[in-house]
Amino acid sequence: RADLLAQGRIPDPFFGEDYQESLWVEKVDWWYRRDLDLDPLAPAQRAFLICDGIDYRSAIFVNGQEHRRHEGMFSRQIIEITEALHRSNGRVELAVRLWGSGALPRRRLHWWQRLWQTIAAPLYGSWVGIYPDRTATLKCQMSFGWDFAPPLRTMGLWDEVRLVITGPVFGREAQLRGVTRGSDGAATLSLDLSLDTAQPGPVMGTVHLSPANFAGPPLGPFPFGLELPAGISRHCGQIDLPKVALWQPWDRGFPHLYDVAITLTRPDGQPLDELTQRTGFRTINLHDWQFTLNGQPEFIRGVNWVPADSLPGRLRRADYERLLRQVRQGNANLLRVWGGGLREKQAFYDLCDELGLLVWQEFPFACLFLGSYPRDSAYLALVEAECGAIVRQLTSHPALVLWCGGNEFSRRRNRPLLRVLAAVVEKFDGSRPFLPTSPGPGDAHHWQVWHGQAPLAAYQTETAPFLSEFGLQALPHVDTLAAMLPSPYTAWASHQADSAKLRRYLSITNYQLPITKSPNLDAKRLISQSQLAQALALQIAIEHMRRRKGQSGGVCLWQFNEPWPAISWAIIDYFGRPKLAYRRLADWYNPVLLSLKFPLGRRWQMGETLPLEIWAINDTLTDVTGCTLELRLDEVCIHRQPLDVPAQSAQPVGRVNHLLPAQPRRLSLSLSRQGLVIAQNHYDLTWVDLSQQPHLARLRRWVADWVLR
């Protein structure tokens, strides 16, 4: 679709309901062709075509001859075209056939699975779970339609394609794992090389490390020798390094990275090939949902990341960089790459390495409530191949700290799948924790609020050590609405607006006007009030979990971004415009946080006493001393005190009982030192929480949580 859209062959699928006008694209096969006129290869040279991602069923042809068929979306395809170039004196026609969605695998469901689909449709009222054939593919699950994305089943060359020329030995892949030993900077670099040689024989190798983003001494050379068989072979080794600069997340220090060059030669010095890879050195541990990085505790202030475009083939490094810098500016330190989305392109992980952002990576499995994934040998072999490729492609990135089997499916009913995933993580990595599913023991998705329509105060009942999903929908900026909906804002539902729940949570802000097409629609006020409700919800949940530091290891809000213009949980809309919650996120995710605990969601009146408990949270490794805390009510200072905040702490630091001289609107906290504001926070006092949770909504959430066991 992206190519057809660029050529004006289809209407913009992101506007109104126009995605339906291009559904025909999925039903036919497509061909991509490219003629190359290259210099003839030298006798010892070899040529390889490398495709980092083809979606989904494909065949690759060279000069009219089929060389490879493939099913999958995420594994790298490597095709040798040396003989074709020799025969054609450097001229070659490359072609890729892509089968339409009619060729996607389909599942045969048991009677009870069909019954569940019938029940789920009216219960949940979305595409999720209604298209069972998505579970037969290792394709971006979101592309079949989700509660924040349209059903746009993509196909194409969605990731990078390149042609490489090598000597007789081709370095297919290099996986690097840099792990520190102790606290003195000593480290071990583990290398896992996949080499392809035309003829057997001895090969000499040399490893050099040079600082990539900082000034420092190079390390090496480290020589090694190999005896290679003909064909593809795998070789593993380790290099002990006396001292390296550590890769740290941004809130701990600097993310030092090294460029690693692996040079291959014949014993006489004849060059064969060179592999280059960037990596860093750090250690990661996870115990009872407490993350430890480089021997120090790291409280997770995370966001859930979904694909940044429903047409992922057009994503470029600049698109990732814009969003990831917004993550960093919001003081988040981890991205949970959600299992209904992608193994992102390498630029995403490169940028996370460079920006010091941690990554929780899920495999492409999501939201299978009562059912199970296929268990036949062919499907599990496909899982092993595709997910093994994901591990091999990402393991060199120090930002990656956690593997997860996927999102919201039963561990018990999917043991065969999880055994395969655990095995490929152990085989190709072994240095990072593996989490079977999210949620799971100790890890909660709190959807009593929103899906269960509970009051916002329900967040303060959360007792899980880790909270990896929670959120509220809000409308995007008025310019985004105009770009995605026909005037005057019809087609709400096609862009995922859940009008009933929006109306319910808008009521806490005292918004009473219509939220759909109406002559009385006040779009700007509707937008601002929905964003206020979203911000209130996220603030309550985040601060509750941060006050539980020590019992809680972290929090990840749902969701940071979105793949098309929508009325969704995203705090940054598709066009990069922030909602109110994002503009406040840097305060809530500040490593040093001031938080107020007080009775929520009631309208306080003149003459009442407002009881306030002041908390200070410090996620850093350094005491924050010599500060002044100030509490203001409607811009009038009602409390001031000196304050020191110990490193790695969360504790109450004061109590205030204030007699209200008038009806209050806003509370503000600030922590300053010598005129510099270190932390600040604000509380809206004009909203009134929902009174109770509907019984049917509570039951639905209980059923959803139960079937995930």
CATH number for 498: 3.20.20.80
Provide the β-strand partners of residue 49: 79, 163
Please write the tens of the pLDDT for every residue from 14-52.
988 888 899 999 999 999 999 999 999 998 999 999 999
250 within some domain: no
User: Is the same domain home to 526 and 602?
Assistant: no
Cα 186 from Cα 21, distance rounded (Å): 59
What's the CATH code of the domain at 37?
A: 2.60.120.260
| Predicted confidence (pLDDT) at residue 708 exceeds the cutoff of 90 | no
pLDDT of residue 126: 47
- Both tokens of 522, joined, read 């006040």
> How would you list the strands of the sheet with 636-645, edge to edge?
636-645, 624-633, 666-673, 676-684
* Contact partners, residue 202, CB within 8 Å, separation at least 6: 225, 226, 227, 228, 266, 267
The better pLDDT of the pair 274, 511 is held by 274
**CATH code: domain of residue 607:** 2.60.40.10
Q: What pLDDT is stored for residue 116 in this prediction?
A: 66
- In a shared domain, residues 12 and 148: yes
What residues pair up with 50 in beta bridges, in sequence order? Answer: 78, 162
On whether residue 238 sits in a domain, the answer given is no
What are the C-alpha distances in Å from 589 to residues 303, 525, 583, 624?
11, 27, 11, 16
Q: Are residues 644 and 524 in the same domain?
A: no
Q: Looking at the structure, do residues 581 and 606 belong to the same domain, yes or no?
A: no
- Residue 107 and residue 135 in contact, taking contact as beta carbons nearer than 8 Å: yes
Question: Is 469 part of any domain?
Answer: yes
CB–CB of 100/26 below 8 Å?
yes
Give the C-alpha separation, 471 to 581, whole Å.
11
In a domain, 437, yes or no: yes
**Which residue has better confidence, 564 or 114?**
564
> Within a domain: residue 110?
yes
Looking at the structure, do residues 41 and 55 belong to the same domain, yes or no? yes
Above 50 in pLDDT, residue 285? yes
Q: What is the dihedral of CA 223, 226, 232, 234, to 10 degrees?
A: -70
Binned at pLDDT 50, 70 and 90, residue 486 comes out as confident
Q: What is the pLDDT of residue 665?
A: 92
Question: For residues 307 and 304, what is the distance between their CA atoms, to the nearest angstrom?
Answer: 10
Q: Are residues 503 and 580 in the same domain?
A: yes
Residue 128 scores a pLDDT above 50: no
Domain end among 162, 183, 207: 162
Let me know: does 629 contact 615? Beta carbons within 8 Å: no
> Which of these three, 134, 162, 190, is where a domain ends?
162
Sheet holding 649-659, edge to edge: 592-597, 609-618, 649-659
More confident residue, 57 or 486: 57
CB-based contacts of 648: which residues, under 8 Å, 6+ apart? Answer: 297, 618, 619, 620, 621
- According to the model, what pLDDT value does residue 368 have? 86
Residue-wise pLDDT for 306-322, tens only, equals 999 999 999 999 999 99
- The strand pairing partners of 51, in sequence order, are 77, 161
Tens of pLDDT, residues 319-340: 999 999 999 999 999 999 999 9
Residues 22 and 124 in one domain: yes
Inter-residue contact 336 to 362 (CB < 8 Å): yes
Cα–Cα distance between 654 and 651 in angstroms, integer? 9
Average pLDDT value for residue range 610-626: 98
Q: What percent of the chain has pLDDT over 90?
A: 80
pLDDT at position 119, please?
66
- Write the secondary structure of 383-413 as one string of H (helix), E (strand) and C (coil): HHHHHHHHHHHHCCCCCEEEEECCEEECCHH
Does residue 216 lie in a domain region? Answer: no
The residue among 135, 162, 189 that closes a domain is: 162
Specify whether 430 is located in the same domain as 552.
yes
Over residues 261-272, the mean pLDDT reads 95
**Pairing relation of β-strands 334-337 and 358-362?**
parallel
What the block records as the tokens of 447 is 């959807």
pLDDT, tens digit, for every residue of 648-683? 999 999 999 999 999 999 999 999 999 999 999 999
The pLDDT assigned to 515 comes to: 64
What are the DSSP calls for 624-662, one per residue? EEEEEEEEEETTEEEEEEEEEE-TTEEEEEEEEEEE-SS
**Residue 414 pLDDT greater than 70, yes or no:** yes
In this predicted structure, the answer to whether residue 123 has a pLDDT above a threshold of 60 is: no
Does 459 reside within a domain?
no
Q: What are phi and psi of 193, to 5 degrees?
A: -110, 140
Position 105 in a domain: yes
CA-nearest of 435, 391, 390, 379 to 411 is 435
Amino acid making up residue 173: E
* Spatial separation of the C-alpha atoms in residues 481 and 453, rounded to whole Å: 25
User: Do residue 518 and residue 581 come from a single domain?
Assistant: yes
> Do residues 78 and 98 share a domain?
yes
Instruction: Give the whole-angstrom CA distance, residue 153 versus residue 700.
Output: 29
Q: Which residue has the tokens 């929908």?
A: 473
- The number of CA neighbours under 13 Å toward the Cβ of 115 is 3
Residues with Cβ within 8 Å of residue 398, at least 6 apart in sequence: 178, 247, 255, 257, 279, 280, 281, 282, 353
Chain segment 164-195, per-residue pLDDT in tens: 999 999 999 999 999 998 778 899 999 999 99
Instruction: Report the alpha-carbon distance of residue 491 to residue 493 in Å, rounded.
Output: 6
Q: Across the chain, what does the average pLDDT equal? A: 92
pLDDT at 101 over 90: no
**411 alpha carbon, distance to own chain's centre:** 21
Number of neighbouring beta carbons within 10 Å of residue 117:
15
CA–CA dist 421, 414 (Å, integer): 11
Lookup: tokens for 207:
């490893």
Residue 127 confidence (pLDDT): 45
Rg of the chain on CA atoms, in Å: 27
The answer to whether residues 577 and 641 belong to one domain is no
Q: pTM value? A: 0.95
Residues 619 and 545 placed together within one structural domain of the fold:
no
| Domain span at 93 | 2-162
694 confidence band (pLDDT: 50, 70, 90):
confident
Segment 569-586 shows an average pLDDT of 98
Number of domains in the chain: 3
Cα of 681 vs its chain's centroid, Å: 27
Q: How far apart are CA 502 and CA 519, in angstroms?
A: 19
**Helix 523-547 vs helix 580-588: crossing angle, to nearest 10:** 20
